[in-house]
Amino acid sequence: MNTGQIISGAGHLALIGWALIGGVFRSDPLPFEVVEATAISTEEYAALIARQSAPEAAAVVDTPEPPAPGEAAPGLSSEADAAPESAPPEASGTPPPDATPDVSEVTPPAPAEVADAAPVLEVPQEDVAIMVPEVSRRPEPRPAPRVAPEPVAQPEPDVKVDEVARPEVTPDESAEVVQEPSEASAPEEAATEIVTEAEKPKETAPSTSLRPKPRPARPAAVAQETPTEAPKPTPTETPKPAPVQPKTDQNSVNAALAAALGGGQQTTERPAGPPLTSGEKDALRVAVQQCWNVGSLSSEALATTVVVTVGMAEDGKPKTGSIRMLSSSGGSDAAARQAFEAARRAIIRCGANGFNLPVEKYDQWRDIEMTFNPERMRIK
Amino acid sequence: MMRTILSLLAALMLWAMPALAQSSGPLRIEITEGVIEPMPYAVPDFVADGAAGAEFGRNIARVIASDLSGTGLFREIPAQAHIGRITSFDSPVQFADWRAVNAQALITGAVSIDGSGRLVVRFRIYDVFAGQELGSGLQFVGTQDGWRRMAHKVADQVYSRITGEGGYFDSRVVFVAESGPKDQRAKRLALMDYDGANLSYLTDSSSIVLAPRFSPTGDRVIYTSYETGFPQIYVLDVASVGRRALPTPEGTMSFAPRFAPDGRSLVYSLTQGGNTDIYRMDIASGTSTRLTTAPSIETAPSFSPDGSQIVFESDRSGTPQLYIMSAGGGDARRISAGQGRYGTPVWSPRGDLIAFTKQSKGRFHIGVMRLDGSEERLLTASFLDEGPTWAPNGRVIMFTRETQGAGGQAGLYSVDISGRNLKQVPTGTGASDPSWSPLQN
């Protein structure tokens, strides 16, 4: 026997002994209640039961004794009972007749005037709910460790959602200029991402940073640019100081903001609109691929993916002169050129009548980058 | 007042930021599904200077249309449907007229005859929907007899410019012209344009000829002839039709020759003592080098375009299969792996594919596979398909198809390597064993 077996045996023995001696198998008595009881005799029990169950029957029942034989039958009288006395009803006095109505003052009703024109009915006004301003504080949502899968109704906004923030205006009688009362409004709150409390990072990032440099000019863009566009700075140019705004009126503030934020591009008044839905994108994709004919492409061009940019007019038609190849991969320059030409034909041909794009989202599809990837067409 | 301005500024920032974030980049979509259909094009008659040129202008346009439509990649918009008229080669094209008939490509040209009687052909290719010229216009000058070749050259340019790969229209095919019944068939070498035009014969039908093969420059043809009663290899000069037998040991049979890419040597099979092996011969000196030594039958060798490797057929595993070895001989690796018998391998001019004949379950197929045997694709199936040869651009394969029965006849067919556009090549006579020339200069 080796040491391991000895140790194992000893250990097992100790375990078994502890189990037997230590009372592992001993069970404590179950808890019980003590109830007082008294012994009663059978008669008492029967009496007790009988009292509880059946109603007590009448002990003595009067039964008429049968007449004895030969006994005369009892005499039966047939006299009617005397009628009870009752007083005759007294006749009531005749009521005096009603007085004759006086008709001398009554004039016959005038005949109703009947107009030929149909009466004009007023259109009932719609029920208008009275807006009761909420004055009580809204209860804050209790933090929950999980997000319920059921969608919940969006809470009503505290203030009217608008594109710009407007302070509430209440009529001030003392003011010289009378302002129309209006409700306070503010743009809807939004964030670029959803951050839970657990994920919320500490704000260690610097609060300010340099603006990223603009994307370098596309090589072929120079010829396409319109002279109205702002000239691109060249490296040799020294940066000019920003023009000083003499008056901070509304327009100049607006222009300065737009220039600072978007390089003067966002000067249109129309909002950009929400992004295109996947359905709208799919419709565009299907429209283009109907005209993307790869049948006449070389096998090398069929292995070349090209990225094409196209500027779109507001009527959904591609601007032919703006179609350019941004990049290509997978083939030689010659193959990329063929692939680009096939892509360009597809865009122009199927866009000749205008792609079906929502005009209210024009800013979203003003420029489109299309990647033509023929990988799946090679095996067909 | 200051506070009002600040709040106004803040409001403007709030309004402007989301708009900026949303319109910061262009809309991006990916197109992965397209259509495969012939590209519609129009080729009006070429504008001619005089009456003599008018017929050339019409004929050249017809040959170009035949070439392009024959590829299966293009579809001609017939002249009756044209709205626009090309009356002057140099005047601007009214693209709207051609868009209206859905012509995606437009080929215009002019034909004239210069002072020395030579034919001058000028042409331009337009991308109709883009409204611009594809490349720049070109001009060919040649003899009036060579008008078909000039038309083929124009078509090659159009094909190359649109598809991105070389054309194959200005090329010729040498083949074995067959006549007579199957059991007594007369065979002789014939030469024609790739489209069957300009048929001529290189040999008479006094002896059986087999397997002609063009040299890499297209000026010579090597073939096997039974002129002496035994199969023997001959080399023939296409221009002069002069020929000579290549030296081989007596009592041997030599066949299945094919030029090396350098044009100075060839590989062939030689049967000696019941064993067939592959040899390489220097044409100038006539000395041969043995490349295989297996006791099995090795035949049908074909060089890779760079001349470094040879693909051949061998039955060393029991059934004919395809193998690749170094151009100097040595170990060979098997590349065919499917069921059936593989033969007559030919290396693509592009170097990426090997065409072959496959016999499986009683049917013959022409197929292609990659150099490692993968992606095997059978392009045809019939009672008897064999002997593939590649078009100069490696996109089309021509082969022999023979119909069943005693009255069955052999003809030439071509098929795109995608398996599409199978069609018969007009030869006017029974034809087999085609060999496609390179593009002519």
Regarding whether B230 and B127 lie in a shared domain, the answer is: no
Q: Are A296 and B7 inside 8 Å of each other by CB?
A: no
By C-alpha distance, the chain B residue nearest A215 is B25
User: Which of A253, A334, A257, A343 minimizes the C-alpha distance to A301?
Assistant: A334
Q: Which two tokens stand for residue A315?
A: 């009527």
**Could you tell me if B104 lies within 8 Å of chain A, comparing CB atoms?**
yes
Contact between B61 and B23 (Cβ < 8 Å) = no
Q: DSSP per residue over B62-125, as a string?
A: HHHHHHHHHTTSEEEPPGGG--S----SSSPP-HHHHHHTT-SEEEEEEEEE-TTS-EEEEEEE
Q: What is the pLDDT of residue A221?
A: 43
**Could you tell me if B162 lies within 8 Å of chain A, comparing CB atoms?**
yes
By C-alpha distance, the chain B residue nearest A214 is B24
Name residues of chain A where pLDDT drops below 70: 1, 23-35, 51-272, 379-380
Give long-range contacts, CB 8 A cutoff, 24+ apart: A79-82: none
Domain end position, chosen among B118, B146, B163: B163
Q: Strand order of the sheet with strand B385-390? A: B385-390, B396-402, B410-416, B423-425
Backbone angles phi, psi at A263, to 5 degrees: 60, 30
Q: Are B22 and A373 inside 8 Å of each other by CB?
A: no
Regarding whether B157 and B127 lie in a shared domain, the answer is: yes
Regarding whether B180 and B92 lie in a shared domain, the answer is: no
Q: Which residue among B21, B37, B164 sits closest to A300, beta carbon to beta carbon?
A: B164
Q: Are B164 and A298 inside 8 Å of each other by CB?
A: yes
Integer Cα distance of B143 and B58 in angstroms: 17
Strands B253-259 and B243-245: unpaired
- Cβ pairs bridging A and B (under 8 Å): 169
Domain of B209: which CATH number? 2.120.10.30
Q: Are A257 and B74 inside 8 Å of each other by CB?
A: no
Q: What is the pLDDT of residue A231?
A: 46
- How far does CA B184 lie from the centroid of its chain? 32
Q: Is A102 helix (H, G, I), strand (E, B) or coil?
A: coil
Domain of B151: which CATH number? 3.40.50.10070
- Total domains present in chain B: 2
Residue A303, Cβ density class (10 Å: 0-12 exposed, 13-18 middle, ≥19 buried): middle
Contact between B340 and B333 (Cβ < 8 Å) = no
By C-alpha distance, the chain A residue nearest B21 is A192
User: Within 10 A of B81 (CB to CB), how many other CB atoms are there?
Assistant: 13
Contact between B182 and B408 (Cβ < 8 Å) = yes
Which residues of chain B lie closer than 8 angstroms to A376, CB-CB? 32-33
What is the separation, in whole angstroms, between the first and last Cα of chain A? 75
What is the separation, in whole angstroms, between the first and last Cα of chain B? 85
Contact between B401 and B385 (Cβ < 8 Å) = yes
Q: State the pLDDT confidence band at B338, using cuts at 50, 70 and 90.
A: confident
State the number of CA atoms in the 13 A half-sphere of B229 facing the CB: 2
Instruction: Return left, alpha or beta for B118; rule: phi > 0 is left, psi -120 to 50 is alpha, else beta.
Output: beta
CA distance A166 to chain B (A): 9
Average pLDDT (B311-325) is: 93
Compute the C-alpha angle A291/A294/A296, nearest 5°: 115
Integer Cα distance of B352 and B370 in angstroms: 6
Contact between B248 and B286 (Cβ < 8 Å) = no
Backbone angles phi, psi at B397, to 5 degrees: -120, 135
Regarding whether B132 and B181 lie in a shared domain, the answer is: no
Q: Are A364 and B22 inside 8 Å of each other by CB?
A: yes
CA distance B315 to chain A (A): 32
- Max mean pLDDT range (B6-15, B190-199, B203-212): B190-199
Contact between B348 and B168 (Cβ < 8 Å) = no
By C-alpha distance, the chain A residue nearest B393 is A298
Which B-chain residues 119-138 have CB contacts (< 8 A) with chain A?
Answer: 127, 129-131, 134
User: Which of A354, A378, A374 minimizes the C-alpha distance to A365?
Assistant: A354
Residue A291, Cβ density class (10 Å: 0-12 exposed, 13-18 middle, ≥19 buried): buried
Regarding whether B312 and B212 lie in a shared domain, the answer is: yes
User: Within 10 A of A224 (CB to CB), how many other CB atoms are there?
Assistant: 14
Q: What is the pLDDT of residue A89?
A: 54
Q: What is the pLDDT of residue A27?
A: 63
Q: Which residue among A257, A275, A376 sits closest to B33, beta carbon to beta carbon?
A: A376
Strands B377-378 and B363-370: antiparallel
Which residues of chain B lie closer than 8 angstroms to A278, CB-CB? none
Lowest-pLDDT range, A230-239, B203-212, B231-240? A230-239
Q: Are B39 and A296 inside 8 Å of each other by CB?
A: yes
Q: Which residue among A274, A296, A380 sits closest to B162, beta carbon to beta carbon?
A: A296
- How far does CA B120 lie from the centroid of its chain? 27
Regarding whether B406 and B292 lie in a shared domain, the answer is: yes
Domain end position, chosen among B129, B163, B197: B163
Higher pLDDT, A66 or B46: B46
Q: State the pLDDT confidence band at B122, using cuts at 50, 70 and 90.
A: very high
Q: Which residue among B39, B130, B134 sits closest to A320, beta carbon to beta carbon?
A: B130
Regarding whether B194 and B126 lie in a shared domain, the answer is: no
User: Which of B340, B345, B347 minimizes the C-alpha distance to B364?
Assistant: B340
pLDDT digits (tens, 9 = 90+) for B382-439: 999 999 999 999 999 999 999 888 778 899 999 999 888 899 999 988 999 999 999 9
pLDDT digits (tens, 9 = 90+) for A327-363: 999 888 888 988 998 899 899 888 888 888 888 888 8
Which residues of chain A lie closer than 8 angstroms to B419, CB-CB? none
By C-alpha distance, the chain A residue nearest B41 is A296
Integer Cα distance of A85 and A88 in angstroms: 10
Regarding whether B311 and B287 lie in a shared domain, the answer is: yes
Q: Is A340 helix (H, G, I), strand (E, B) or coil?
A: helix
What are the residue boundaries of the structural domains of chain A, listed by start?
A: 290-378
Q: What is the pLDDT of residue B66?
A: 94
pLDDT digits (tens, 9 = 90+) for A277-326: 888 888 888 888 888 988 888 888 888 999 999 999 988 899 988 999 99
User: Which of B391, B84, B31 minimizes the C-alpha distance to A368?
Assistant: B31
Integer Cα distance of B435 and B390 in angstroms: 8
Average pLDDT (B25-48) is: 90
Which B-chain residues 340-399 have CB contacts (< 8 A) with chain A?
Answer: 395
Q: Which two tokens stand for residue B84?
A: 């626009």
Tell me which residue range forms the domain holding B94: 39-163
Regarding whether B393 and B424 lie in a shared domain, the answer is: yes
Contact between B39 and B75 (Cβ < 8 Å) = yes
Q: What is the pLDDT of residue B189?
A: 92
Q: Are B23 and A298 inside 8 Å of each other by CB?
A: no
Q: Which two tokens stand for residue A378?
A: 């090679």
**Could you tell me if B6 lies within 8 Å of chain A, comparing CB atoms?**
no
Regarding whether B408 and B385 lie in a shared domain, the answer is: yes
CA distance A356 to chain B (A): 14
Regarding whether B177 and B145 lie in a shared domain, the answer is: no
CA distance B300 to chain A (A): 28
**DSSP classification of residue A44:** H
Q: Is A129 helix (H, G, I), strand (E, B) or coil?
A: coil
Regarding whether B357 and B331 lie in a shared domain, the answer is: yes
Backbone angles phi, psi at A337, to 5 degrees: -65, -45
Domain end position, chosen among B111, B130, B163: B163
Integer Cα distance of B34 and A343 in angstroms: 10
Q: Are A296 and B30 inside 8 Å of each other by CB?
A: no
Q: Are A293 and B31 inside 8 Å of each other by CB?
A: no
Q: Indicate whether this complex's ipTM tops 0.90.
A: no
